[in-house]
Structure 1
Amino acid sequence: MAVFCGVAVGIKVWDADSVTAQHEARHRHQVTATTVSKAEGRLPARFAGASEATARAFWEYPASVPHTDTIAVTPNTPVGRTVTLWVDDSGRMSTAPHSRGDRALQAAAAGACAMGVVALSAGLVVRLRLRRVETRSLAHWDEEWERVEPRWSGRLRRDSGADDD
């Protein structure tokens, strides 16, 4: 059941992300920007994962609509270097549409989480049920022992009298 739920959630997430990715692909565009300032603010690779700096850049999107913003570039990027970046329909900087791999990873993670939640929930229900069964069983055992123990051990009951033999 957990596997079924995990697969179902994974498929739903894949479908939803695919629709989002299609929408993003229609409304995100790659443009070529030109740096108008020297790269600054180099971050060491050990902190950023890769050396990165920023520079001011200029691009036009839609046609003949100028934009200028600070973008991420490699260290020591000179003025006038062209850089490819993603923009939305109005020309503002954006991120690339989600790739097929990103969507697959997200769907697999959601499916695994759902499967784990269902499995843990089922395990908890079984544990609680077993605890209840064990409690009842021990209570019945105690009742039976109270009846059998005096005869089995040869001890007299507390409420027994001298004539009970």
Structure 2
Amino acid sequence: MRAIGGLWRWRNNPLCRTTDLVEAWLALVTLLLIVVAAPVIGSLVGAVAQDSLQRSVRAQHDSRQLVTATVTRKLDRAPLDPEPDTSVHDTRTRVRAAWTAPDGTRQHDTVLIPLKSPHPGDHFRLWTDLQGHMAARPLDSATATTHAVLAGFGAAMLAASAVEGGRRLLVWRMVRRRYARWDQAWDRAGPDWGKAGTGS
């Protein structure tokens, strides 16, 4: 971005090449795109993501119910023991539980619950779909908003990176072309350079 400052200094300099001006203008346009376009893209992506995620939150809350389940039997904990090479200990317990579905049917299934020593008759809360089958906890509005903000921020960063990457690619191509021209000029002057009587 130093080329932007050089744009003003180079404007009337006889040593200024066309590529120097192009590089400076390219840097200025890149800066403007990063400062203006990237935040706009990020806010648009964030708004679209927020709308979609909030619709998903409403749909999940409409299609899932929190019911009270009752422990009918504690099951063997062995399959949930942590691996010997991990330090994570699962504090949940497998139980056989029963609950009444939102449609009034009685359901039974094996459930993981956060009770250390459950006994038959203990109650706990469980998310189910409208037919009474176990379901994941629905997404909450605050989490959806966080995901939307992160999506918008990521889109802005991606747009800024793409603009800067495009600038660097164009500058790299200009520099390669400049070096190729220098090589051609040296090839023309090279055989006679420094010899007496060649006008150098």
Same fold (TM over 0.5): yes
Deviation at 1:147, TM superposition (A): 6.0
> Which piece of structure 1 moves more, 129-138 or 99-108?
99-108
User: How many pairs are equivalent?
Assistant: 157
Residue in structure 1 matched with residue 177 of structure 2 by the alignment? 136
Residue in structure 1 matched with residue 136 of structure 2 by the alignment? 95
Q: Which is greater in Rg?
A: 1
Unaligned runs of 5+ in 2: 1-36
Residue in structure 2 matched with residue 6 of structure 1 by the alignment? 42
Task: Compute the TM-score of the two structures, normalised by the length of structure 2.
Answer: 0.67
* Residue 104 (structure 1) aligned to one of 142, 145, 155: 145
CA contact (8 A) 2:103 2:132 kept: no
Residue in structure 2 matched with residue 116 of structure 1 by the alignment? 157
Residue in structure 1 matched with residue 68 of structure 2 by the alignment? 32
> Which piece of structure 1 moves more, 51-60 or 4-13?
4-13
Tell me how far apart the structure 2 counterparts of residues 33 and 3 of structure 1 sit (CA, whole Å).
Answer: 48
SS in structure 2 of the partner of residue 22 of structure 1: helix
Residue deviations 1:55-105, cap 9 Å, x none? Answer: 011011135310001111122111110010111111111122211222122
Tell me how far apart the structure 2 counterparts of residues 142 and 118 of structure 1 sit (CA, whole Å).
Answer: 36
Distance 1:156 1:129, change over 3 A: farther
The structure carrying a bigger helix percent of its residues is 2
Residue deviations 1:101-159, cap 9 Å, x none? Answer: 221222123223322322222222111101111112223333445566788x64259xx
Residue deviations 1:17-68, cap 9 Å, x none? Answer: 10011111111111100000125425459425x5111101101113531000
* CA RMSD across the alignment: 2.7
SS in structure 2 of the partner of residue 75 of structure 1: coil
> Which piece of structure 1 moves more, 103-112 or 30-39?
103-112
SS in structure 1 of the partner of residue 88 of structure 2: helix
Distance 1:110 1:147, change over 3 A: same
Unaligned runs of 5+ in 1: none
CA contact (8 A) 1:58 1:69 kept: yes
CA contact (8 A) 1:59 1:68 kept: yes
* Residue 101 (structure 2) aligned to one of 61, 65, 71: 61
